[in-house]
């Protein structure tokens, strides 16, 4: 599958990039995408919520009333969960939500996600570019030229570029990642993938 290369002015150049079929044209596996996205979202959870149970509440252990003869239900101390200010029953405790996923499944999920984007013509390949200094206005001009200011965009860089990253950081719908850090969630969450020429080779090298 051949895709035209655009410049930062939004115009097509004479160059074309060949997107390999074994990465951008496989039979998509929806379940692999589901598992990978589920793992990614689970790993974002901090799991730091905590409530106090009756053994952790500060208060007297004195029995409130006699066991029998009051005509009411028997009760223990003031820290009982049925009283206001008492401990919580089976409350949340700090825990980890992290889970593991087979590398081959993760690779299949990314290939499936890239295939969906390629089928829907939601991949734009750009000439390699860089900024001398971080400027959000310059990055916004590129999005304007590509008519992508209203869409969620994911720019994939072949290597770390601090100026480009900082230029996009203030834009809500724009995200910049390195090809080696590309994940299924980011691909599926974006409306358009903006790939630099060099990043195409990096992605193919990582997923071959």
User: Domain check: are 85 and 56 in the same one?
Assistant: yes
| 32 CB-contact burial (10 Å; exposed 0-12 / middle 13-18 / buried 19+) | buried
Q: How many domains does the chain have?
A: 2
CATH of the domain at 108: 3.40.1370.10
**In 3D, which of 11, 17, 1, 41 has the Cα closest to residue 186?**
41
Q: Across the chain, what does the average pLDDT equal?
A: 93
Give the pLDDT confidence of 148-170 residue by residue, as tens digits: 999 999 999 999 999 999 999 99
Mean per-residue pLDDT for 52-80?
91
Residue 67, token pair as written in the block? 């066991």
User: Domain check: are 114 and 192 in the same one?
Assistant: yes
DSSP 48-61: ------GGGS-S--
User: Domain check: are 61 and 151 in the same one?
Assistant: no
7 in helix, strand or coil? coil
* Residues linked to residue 195 through DSSP beta bridges, in sequence order: 125, 156
> Do the Cβ atoms of 113 and 58 come closer than 8 Å?
no
**In 3D, which of 118, 93, 119 has the Cα closest to residue 203?**
118
Q: Using CA atoms, how far apart are residues 146 and 6, in angstroms rounded to an integer?
A: 9
User: Domain check: are 127 and 194 in the same one?
Assistant: yes
pTM: 0.82
18 is in which domain, residue-wise? 2-29+101-207
């Amino acid at each position: 599958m051949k895709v035209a290369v655009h410049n930062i002015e939004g115009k097509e150049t004479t160059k074309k990039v060949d997107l390999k079929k074994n990465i951008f044209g496989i039979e998509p596996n929806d379940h692999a995408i589901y598992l990978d996205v589920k793992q990614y979202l689970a790993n974002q959870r901090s799991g730091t919520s905590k409530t106090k149970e009756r053994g952790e509440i500060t208060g007297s252990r004195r029995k409130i009333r006699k066991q029998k003869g009051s005509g009411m239900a028997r009760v223990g101390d003031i820290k009982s969960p049925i009283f206001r200010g008492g401990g919580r029953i089976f409350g949340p405790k700090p825990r980890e939500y992290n889970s593991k996923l087979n590398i081959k499944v993760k690779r299949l999920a990314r290939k499936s996600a890239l295939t969906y984007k390629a089928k829907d013509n939601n991949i734009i390949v750009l000439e390699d570019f860089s900024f001398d200094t971080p400027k959000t206005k310059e990055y916004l001009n590129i999005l304007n030229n590509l008519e992508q200011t209203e869409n969620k965009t994911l720019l994939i860089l072949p290597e770390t570029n601090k100026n480009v990253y900082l230029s996009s950081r203030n834009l809500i719908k724009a995200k910049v990642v390195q090809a080696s850090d590309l994940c299924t969630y980011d691909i599926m969450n974006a409306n358009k993938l903006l790939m630099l020429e060099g990043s195409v080779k990096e992605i193919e090298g990582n997923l071959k």
